[in-house]
Structure 1
């Protein structure tokens, strides 16, 4: 019996990508009342195109629910340097969820958690029941790869992806996906605002985990490391441990629905008439061209 194919969409990643791709050319695609809708229109088009390409049977869209998460409680500087969203984007967060619901996709978001944590929790819950594809632009999600889960990173336009399977990841990195968070702990993440171990870059971080397996393994082997590495790591062990907590996607969020509730229904002409009447003409036009 063929397993269901669950497509999990990182809604925040697609919304931001779509907004900035068109905002750079001042193309805000405003609704009749003047409200910008470029990010929403691009987000929906991206998901519709992915459906057409990947043929999922089930679909879920995951969202961040505000800027503050449990990671901010762990480390005040977490994502502190990220600029506030542009004014034209502010109304589009709620609009994207409304359009998603209108089309028939289920939205998920839990205050205090990031979309990544919901994606990880869904994978953990359904990895044995479904073949899973995740669409995102966030390389942190590589740690979620397993034999039934593929990560498709946005690459170009609406239809080109850089697709990772567990076997491709192991071949390229020489570690298991779960060890990727330990690599991130050493190298840090300037975008997320945690430093890791100052002076340890991506190449050295990967080599340390390849050679010693884990942060604990590196600490046990500390006397055998080069003097410079030994000093950097020993002086920054507390931040190393904290960075690992921040880098690790939490996969234990309560997902209160069953997989079957995410099953996709066929789209009807009436549905896209409604979408168009709400002012989202580009979404309707694109949808009608592929369905």
Structure 2
């Protein structure tokens, strides 16, 4: 979903909605497919699956009503492209996975943890929240600006970058909060301070158990936000036990060229026709 929105805004900013002869905008879907196909060509995966958000309300809204409440409705030109994106993915015989009440992140985490028992998993995303899922058998590929520009992270590269281990990313977000997801964490604690605290005390629990060792300013801020700190940690953690699955057989990558051509021709995906 992050890649679909990224593709939409990359062209929508200049009014290039790529409206086909039936009046349907296709810029987001074509951009998403270009991201997906470029990554497949680059990484040569044996299996591929795509996860989607299934509506705006999830269990996180039930525990914190303001979660993502700062986000407005999707632009009208985006609305028909949600289903169209799933149709396009299906044409490539790639599973579309999503579950009402949970975010795509939770589905990704669940499938990645299951698949890493027998495969090396690469998660392609533009969202740094995914970094908490890094394991020896799970790499996170952050999509940088443009197409085909990737930053691949494993446990070693993540530690070199942040100075913490991937699971501590949850505590980092709990301390910092997340303006995009609309939860505050601890007001006045930014990334630099949060990283320093985690490097010293390892976790939220470690910090709370050593408040006497904090500076007066840090102690005051954290003690004033203990409840929100715990809540923010719950919101930040990706659930890896939701009731979704994806078998290797279903996700084996390969598609019927005629089926894909029919989709590209019908929806007039000219950008994809040129690269496939």
Instruction: Name the counterpart of 1:264.
Output: 253
- C-alpha contact (below 8 Å) 1:273/1:284 kept by paired residues: no
How far residue 235 of structure 1 moved from its aligned partner, in angstroms, is 1.1
Q: Does 1:167 align with 2:153?
A: no
Instruction: Name the counterpart of 1:7.
Output: none
Instruction: Name the counterpart of 1:54.
Output: 43
Instruction: Name the counterpart of 2:173.
Output: 184
Give structure 1 regions of 4+ aligned residues with deviation exceeding 3 angstroms: none
Instruction: Name the counterpart of 1:225.
Output: 214
TM-aligned CA distance change 1:24 to 1:230, over 3 Å:
same
- In structure 1, stretches of 5+ residues that fail to align are 1-11
Q: Does 1:79 align with 2:68?
A: yes
Distance 2:58 2:255 in 1: 36
Instruction: Name the counterpart of 1:276.
Output: 264
Which string of whole-angstrom CA distances, capped at 9 and with x for unpartnered residues, describes residues 43-63 of structure 1?
112111111111000000000
How far residue 287 of structure 1 moved from its aligned partner, in angstroms, is 4.3
Instruction: Name the counterpart of 2:6.
Output: 17
More strand by share: 1
Which string of whole-angstrom CA distances, capped at 9 and with x for unpartnered residues, describes residues 126-154 of structure 1?
11211111111100111000111111111
Distance 2:172 2:147 in 1: 30
TM-score when scaled to structure 1? 0.92
Distance 1:225 1:161 in 2: 38
Distance 1:286 1:115 in 2: 30
Distance 2:274 2:166 in 1: 36
TM-aligned CA distance change 1:287 to 1:271, over 3 Å:
farther
Distance 2:264 2:112 in 1: 34
Question: Secondary structure of 2:77's partner?
Answer: helix
How far residue 267 of structure 1 moved from its aligned partner, in angstroms, is 4.5
Aligned-residue CA RMSD (Å): 1.3
- In structure 2, stretches of 5+ residues that fail to align are none
TM-aligned CA distance change 1:257 to 1:135, over 3 Å:
closer
Q: Does 1:131 align with 2:116?
A: no
TM-aligned CA distance change 1:147 to 1:184, over 3 Å:
same
How far residue 255 of structure 1 moved from its aligned partner, in angstroms, is 2.6
Alignment of 1:240-251 (within 5 A): 240-251=229-240
Distance 1:256 1:144 in 2: 17
**Which one is further off, 155-164 or 130-139?**
155-164
How far residue 266 of structure 1 moved from its aligned partner, in angstroms, is 4.6
Alignment of 1:141-160 (within 5 A): 141-160=130-149
Instruction: Name the counterpart of 2:16.
Output: 27
